Amino acid sequence: MRTGALQALIFDVDGTLADTEAVHLAAFNQAFAELGMDWVWSEALYTELLTISGGKERIRHYWDQVNPGVKVLDAQALQDRIGRIHDLKTAAYESAVNSGAVALRPGVLKLMDEALAAGVQLAIATTTSPVNIAALLRHAIGDDWRMNFTAIGDASTAPIKKPHPQVYLQMLQALQLPAGACLAFEDSSNGLRAATAAGLATIVTPNGFTAHHDFTGALKVVPDLSQVSLEQLRQWHAQGRA
């Protein structure tokens, strides 16, 4: 492959590969109800909470909001409680995905197939949990979905969440490629900031939860990938490098 050519596509998951956030929101609320909590997150509130990357981090942030000035006397007990909420939420999300509640966004699978056929590598860089990734891609692609991806970075491998670039830096190392040989795909400002901090040119496909975000610095912002081909990406990539 010629020097400077596009050699890998690195995808975020939630909101980018699939419109998952509404299902995540319903799963959070189901977990709260199962534990007898009086928390109910509205769509508007959840949109605000999405500025916090990571499900457990989001729960802790909200706990701090509804308990202002309350000193945590037993930090481990709180962490255990947050962990239990998140476990129930993850189970509810996985069940919803397995029932067909989530599909890949338009153009995603076609572009992945085109890239693989051309020898362009695929990777995942997300702050979500491995279980959530597996549930989504197993349902959308099949049991052998992992074979499509050279590298996968998630909440278990990159504990420092976006907008920190940790997960993207890990993926570049795993791919053994410079940032200039790759393109990132994101849907949020935090994701864009993480990718660009790692030196990656980034294609943004906003959704209903992130359309109001600031995407300054993106290589391109498009509604989805339905009208985007690998050749188009190569052209954008070359323009970005120039």
Q: Mind listing the pLDDT tens digit for each residue in 203-231? A: 999 999 999 999 999 999 999 999 999 99
Confidence of residue 3 (pLDDT cuts 50, 70, 90): very low
CA distances from 103 to 21, 75, 81, 87, 100 (A): 12, 38, 31, 22, 7
Please, what is the average pLDDT of the chain? 95
200 touches 125 (CB < 8 A): no
- Please tell me the predicted confidence (pLDDT) of residue 242: 76
**Which amino acid belongs to residue 29?**
N
As annotated, the active-site residues are 12, 14
Domain ranges of the chain: 8-20+103-241, 21-98
Q: Is the pLDDT of residue 35 over 70?
A: yes
Rounded to an integer, the average pLDDT of 4-12 is 95
- DSSP string spanning 165-205? -HHHHHHHHHHT--GGGEEEEESSHHHHHHHHHTT-EEEE-
- Please tell me the predicted confidence (pLDDT) of residue 241: 84
CATH fold of 8-20+103-241: Rossmann fold (3.40.50)
The residue ranges of DSSP E strands in 32-150, in sequence order, are: 121-125
- Please tell me the predicted confidence (pLDDT) of residue 134: 95
Rounded to an integer, the average pLDDT of 186-198 is 98
Say if residue 186 is exposed, middle or buried (CB neighbours under 10 Å; 0-12, 13-18, 19+): buried
Q: Is the pLDDT of residue 98 over 60?
A: yes
CA distance 85 to 185: 29
Confidence of residue 90 (pLDDT cuts 50, 70, 90): very high
Mutual angle of helices 230-241 and 108-117, in 10-degree steps = 80
Q: How many residues does the chain have?
A: 242
Q: Cis peptide leading into 163, omega within 30 of 0?
A: yes
- Please tell me the predicted confidence (pLDDT) of residue 4: 78
Q: Mind listing the pLDDT tens digit for each residue in 104-154? A: 999 999 999 999 999 999 999 999 999 999 999 999 999 999 999 999 999
- pLDDT above 70 coverage of the chain, percent: 99
What CATH homologous superfamily does 21-98 map to? Answer: Putative phosphatase; domain 2 (1.10.150.240)
CA distance 23 to 147: 26
Confidence of residue 85 (pLDDT cuts 50, 70, 90): very high
Q: Mind listing the pLDDT tens digit for each residue in 43-59? A: 999 999 999 999 999 99
- Please tell me the predicted confidence (pLDDT) of residue 51: 93
Structure tokens at 22: 């509404």
Q: Is the pLDDT of residue 1 over 80?
A: no
- Please tell me the predicted confidence (pLDDT) of residue 186: 98
Buried b (16+ CB within 10 A) or exposed e, 76-90: eeeeebbeebbebbb
**Which amino acid belongs to residue 79?**
Q
Confidence of residue 69 (pLDDT cuts 50, 70, 90): confident
Q: Is the pLDDT of residue 194 over 70?
A: yes
- Please tell me the predicted confidence (pLDDT) of residue 55: 93
- Please tell me the predicted confidence (pLDDT) of residue 94: 94
